[in-house]
Chain A
Amino acid sequence: MTALLSVQDLTYTIRKRQGWLGSEERFTLSPVSFEINAGETLAIIGDNGSGKSLLARLLVGAERPSGGHIFLNGQKLDPFNIKQRCLNIRMIFQHSNESLNPGLSVGRILEEPLKLNTQLDARARQEKVVNTLKLVGLLPDHQFFYRHMLSDGQRQRVGLARALVLDPQVIVADEPFAALDPSVRSQTVNLIMALQRELGLGFVFISHNLGIVRHISDRLLVMQKGLVVESGKTETVFNWPKSEYTEKLVMAHQSLINR
């Protein structure tokens, strides 16, 4: 059976020159390869600047990779064809506040991707929007709301709804829980897990919170300075970390729990 999403030797190089004669600063994402099956969750952890967000942006197509391929259900994704990709791979942004358009109502925000990517008529789109809102635990009335009227948790749900509205197969989330308080965070985590079970989604998520990572992910990818330090089943990595860096991360996490 082919994997739902399979990434092979994805690389990315960025050069930034400071001033005219300044030294050239380079950041390279070393070849990354992984696979996810339907219903599986892959977590990516690592410190700031390790290329986690970049990897997420490469997956959804916001950046073009320098090399390597992404396969969805065995079919190669064209880096220039956003339409093909956005029907199947959707992103949830870190700051739900900035990722929602302040000038459009929630209904319009959810309707735009449908307008652009499907042949549904106005009534079918409306129905889809209402159903998606219900799916993420909001009320149909919320489609008339604007960004500034929603709480942080509700905004995150709208972000999730926008990802789900096109019935994707993979969702990529860049630290979706970072800005939420603990109670709303656990609500959202449970919501996402329930949806994943229900819809059979593949889920790639980036987080700093090892507790949540251990709770929801099946596989783990540890990154440091653009390199994949370690990857494998979450429980294996947590119990028998191979690299020093992972060991430190796990130790820090354990010391917090057992205090």
Chain B
Amino acid sequence: MPRFSLYQEEYHPSPLQHTWLAFRQSHVAVIGLWILGFFATLVVFAPLIAPFDPVQQHTDTLLIPPAWEPNGSIEHLFGTDSVGRDVLSRLVYGCRMTLGISLILVLLAMLVGVAIGALAGMTRGVRSSVLNHLLDSLLAIPTLLIAIIIVAILGVGLVNSMWAISLALIPQFVHNTRDFVRNEMKKDYVTAARLDGANKVHLFFITILPNMVEMLVVQGTMALSIAILDISALGFLGLGAQAPSPELGTMLSEGLKIAYMSPSSIALPGSAIFVMVLSVNLVGDGLRSALRNRMRQ
């Protein structure tokens, strides 16, 4: 006997598929996703895509202009810099470094921040306050200043700037998570879950976490664009990644010295940073409205 079914379509989209359907409505966001996907490909497959080693110096071909200039060569598509390194390879590796490190930093900050925030949200009284305001002083100081302090203590380097940025990103995750958990704990569905006999761990991971995705996405994309900008800013100031390593900010500051001879040496890494941040923001914005819209149809 065929099963009685009121609905013609036997297809039940999951929340993820709902989000994707809503996300697709916005063309700008989809374009942003394509661009971000392109950068993600660079991050993963950089060694396969880049034609040369990013630090290899071709001493016979110094400062070759990009291929579209009259005296450029197709061997070096974006030309070479003042010591003969292939700019295209450096850009590819630069995207890998900047975006990859930013992603790791944001994930780390999110993990730590959400853990502390959840603990602060589920507990009460002094313990909750201490956890909540543990890292507040970091909010008052700009990231760059924290980085300068850390660099002054530990010395210049990429790893030290990574510490600085992830420390600066954590407090906002703590605060947002705590406020969110506090608010949700008052709602009836959490009481219902508590009456089902759920303990606190279960309450957070099964009951509250599915509703927190929207907040995490919004905070995560914001943190990602901040991290990209900060990593390249520290590289540009010479506090983060050091000279030979292909990092977009560092490349920018190197290109500044020869900007009059080859403008492309600052235009290319600069626009790479710009497009990267733009695509992250487009995707974040699209995701936020998609997550909001899937709840009301």
Point out residues on A near B: beta carbons under 8 Å. Answer: 60-62, 82-83, 86, 90-91, 93, 95, 98-104, 112-113, 116-117, 139, 141, 144, 146, 148-149, 162
Contact = CB atoms under 8 A, between A and B. Distances in A.
Most buried by B among A103, A113, A139, A141: A103
B210 A146 contact: no
Contacts of A95: 188
B194 A82 contact: yes
Contacts of B209: 103
Given A62-B194, A103-B213, A116 B202 contact: yes
A92 to B, nearest CB: 10
A188 to B, nearest CB: 18
Contacts, number: 69
Interface residues of B, number: 26
A24 to B, nearest CB: 20
A162 B198 CA distance: 14
B210 A103 contact: yes
A115 to B, nearest CB: 9
16 contacts: A61-B195, A62-B195, A83-B197, A86-B197, A93-B191, A95-B188, A100-B189, A101-B207, A102-B189, A102-B295, A112-B193, A112-B198, A112-B206, A113-B197, A116-B198, A116-B202
Most buried by A among B6, B15, B197, B211: B197
B260 interface: no
Given A91-B192, A112-B196, A113-B196, A102 B6 contact: no
Given A141-B6, A148-B297, A99 B189 contact: yes
B5 interface: yes
Contacts of B191: 62, 93, 99
Contacts of A162: 192
Interface in B173-207: 187-189, 191-198, 202, 206-207
Contacts of B197: 82-83, 86, 113, 116-117
Nearest to A166: B196
B36 to A, nearest CB: 25
A147 to B, nearest CB: 8
A91 B189 contact: no
B27 interface: no
Contacts of A112: 193, 196, 198, 206
A25 B198 CA distance: 32
Most buried by A among B196, B209, B213: B196
A90 B209 CA distance: 24
Contact of B210 (A82, A98, A101, A149): A101
Contacts of A91: 192, 195
B189 to A, nearest CB: 5
B6 A139 contact: yes
A192 to B, nearest CB: 18
Given A93-B188, A95-B188, A102 B211 contact: yes
Nearest to B210: A103
B189 A98 contact: yes
Contacts of B198: 112, 116
B213 A99 contact: no
A182 B295 CA distance: 27
Given A112-B206, A141-B5, A101 B195 contact: no
A60 to B, nearest CB: 6
B193 A101 contact: yes
B196 A98 contact: no
